[in-house]
């Protein structure tokens, strides 16, 4: 007696191998464990017509349940893209069916594997004559054997499985149709087009320049040329009599100098010609300056027979000079520009006179300078006085020539003489800069 391990149906015929309800392999009813641990092998020669006959009772349709590898029915192949499906050729000779094994259904089923798909060759379209003919694809011997085996397995399953369990469609044979190669159009370079456009633009620009010259620039140049060549009326020349200026002197520019604000201990000296005679009266100049009240005025200056208009001095008792300031004169050309040429000669003559009056005399420098608010020309010198009551005394001197500002022939000479007895002075460069002499230079003014 046989029994179905799935639906527990029993069959009295011991030669029946499969359940007529669900197609499960039957096992012996007396050995319930035979289908669990033992693999039963059968030979196709043992099957008879009773076993493989068509069962009249319809079987239930296959449901979308998990694939059971131990079933002998053939599952439908996976749907594929529609391709021309050629029919497989019939077998030329009968092939012996392979032995069918009925393993126990209790084991875990392996993953579903689709049936082998055979690619049949389809003749490709005839290529153009210019291209070589590609050889048609061929089917290998192993592929042909798989097709035969697949067909044989399908035949055996059809004989042993009821009609309700048969697959709804035969296995699909896909065909790979090679597509003809489409020739790609070769891209054309844009360089000739760009060069052509540039050439056209160049021609247009050159034509525009030529047209602009002939229609715009050339008419303008012709009009200017005609205007230059057109005769113009000449003005009537005027005769102007030049006055005789040989005996006149150029007027010197008047220098405006702001007034000086003296300190509280200052005394003003104003030059006067009331007591002058000789050269001083002849070259009289109006001027004024301020000096400190502690200084002493030389009574021999500004009197008949004197050589200076004024002289003031800072003394160290009983009769030693620390600083002194004297105002003399020189013959001027009447202007600063004219005197600038004779200043070097005046400085040389006066320097020679000082060289005879001072021992160890030496001229240190010479050039243009400033006397307060006025431009002038100067030279500096140094000397020494030995074996005095105060020992050896250094002497520093500075002479400035100031040209007149009113156009007259009378210029002034400012003489500054200092010694090392003045504690503020250390060299000839300090004369008129340090000590009390700067007051006289800053306050000196031409006029009353």
Q: How confident is the model at residue 334 (pLDDT cuts 50, 70, 90)?
A: confident
The mean pLDDT of 187-194, rounded to a whole number, is 83
pLDDT in tens, 149-164: 443 333 333 344 444 3
Burial 343-369 (b: 16+ CB within 10 A, else e): beebbeebbeebeeebeebebeebeeb
CA distance 54 to 73: 14
Kindly state the helix (H) or strand (E) to which residue 28 belongs, with its residue range. Answer: strand 27-28
At residue 18, the pLDDT reads: 86
What residues does each domain of the chain span? 1-74+89-107+142-167, 266-446
Q: How confident is the model at residue 81 (pLDDT cuts 50, 70, 90)?
A: low
Q: Which residues pair with 371 in a beta bridge?
A: 374
pLDDT at 199 over 80: yes
Report whether 271 contacts 286 (CB < 8 A).
yes
CA distance 320 to 390: 9
pLDDT at 50 over 50: no
Pairwise pLDDT comparison (401 vs 275), residue with the higher score: 401
Highest mean pLDDT pick, 15-19, 30-34, 113-117, 253-257:
15-19
The mean pLDDT of 103-125, rounded to a whole number, is 45
**CB-side neighbour CA atoms (13 Å) of 258:** 3
At residue 71, the pLDDT reads: 54
Beta-strand relationship, 362-371 and 374-388: antiparallel
Q: How far is CA 67 from CA 76, 88, 154, 285, in A?
A: 12, 26, 18, 144
Report whether 269 contacts 291 (CB < 8 A).
yes
* Token reading at 437: 């002499």
CA distance 313 to 315: 6
The mean pLDDT of 217-228, rounded to a whole number, is 79
Task: Using alpha carbons, select from 99, 78, 85, 89 the residue that is nearest to residue 153.
Answer: 99
**Fold exhibited by the domain 266-446:** Protein Transport Mog1p; Chain A (3.40.1000)
Q: Which residues pair with 374 in a beta bridge?
A: 371
pLDDT at 88 over 90: no
Q: What is the model's pTM?
A: 0.46
Those residues with Cβ within 8 angstroms of residue 73's Cβ, 6 or more apart along the chain or in another chain: 23, 62, 157, 161, 165, 166, 167
């Amino acid at each position: 007696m046989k029994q179905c391990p799935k639906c527990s149906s029993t069959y009295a015929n011991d030669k029946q191998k499969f359940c007529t309800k669900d197609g499960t392999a039957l096992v012996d009813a007396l050995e319930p464990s035979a289908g669990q641990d033992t693999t039963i092998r059968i030979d196709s020669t043992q099957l008879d017509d009773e076993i493989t006959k068509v069962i009249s009772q319809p079987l239930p349709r296959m449901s979308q349940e998990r694939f059971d590898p131990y079933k002998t029915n053939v599952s439908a192949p996976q749907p594929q893209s529609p391709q021309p499906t050629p029919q497989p050729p019939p077998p030329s000779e009968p092939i012996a069916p392979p032995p069918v094994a009925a393993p126990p259904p209790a084991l875990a089923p392996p993953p579903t594997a689709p049936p082998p798909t055979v690619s049949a060759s389809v003749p490709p379209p005839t290529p153009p004559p210019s291209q070589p003919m590609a050889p048609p694809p061929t089917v290998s011997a192993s592929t042909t054997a798989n097709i035969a085996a697949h067909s044989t397995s399908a035949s055996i399953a059809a004989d042993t499985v009821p009609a309700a369990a048969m697959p709804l469609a035969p296995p699909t044979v896909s065909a790979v149709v090679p597509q003809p190669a489409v020739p790609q159009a070769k891209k054309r370079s844009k360089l000739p087009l760009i060069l052509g456009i540039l050439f056209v633009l160049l021609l247009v620009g050159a034509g525009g320049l030529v047209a602009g010259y002939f229609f715009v620039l050339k008419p303008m140049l012709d009009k200017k040329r005609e205007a230059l060549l057109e005769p113009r009326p000449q003005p009537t020349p005027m005769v102007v009599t030049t006055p005789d200026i040989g005996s006149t002197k150029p007027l010197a520019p008047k220098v405006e100098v702001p007034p000086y604000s003296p300190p509280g201990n200052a005394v003003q000296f104003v030059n006067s010609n009331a007591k002058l005679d000789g050269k001083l009266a002849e070259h009289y100049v109006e001027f004024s300056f301020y000096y400190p009240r502690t200084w002493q005025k030389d009574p021999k200056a500004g009197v008949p027979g004197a050589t200076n208009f004024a002289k003031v001095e800072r003394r160290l008792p009983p009769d030693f000079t620390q600083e002194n300031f004297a105002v003399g004169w020189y013959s001027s050309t009447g202007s600063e520009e004219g005197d600038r040429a004779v200043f070097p000669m005046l400085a040389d003559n006066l320097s020679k006179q000082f060289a005879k009056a001072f021992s160890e005399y030496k001229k240190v420098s010479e050039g243009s300078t400033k006397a307060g608010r006025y431009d002038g020309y100067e030279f500096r010198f140094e000397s020494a006085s030995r074996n005095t009551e105060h020992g050896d005394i250094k002497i520093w001197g500075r002479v400035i020539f100031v040209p007149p500002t009113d156009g007259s022939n009378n210029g002034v000479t400012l003489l500054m003489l200092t010694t090392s007895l003045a504690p503020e002075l250390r060299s000839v460069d300090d004369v008129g800069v340090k000590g009390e002499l700067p007051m006289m230079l800053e306050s000196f003014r031409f006029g009353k």
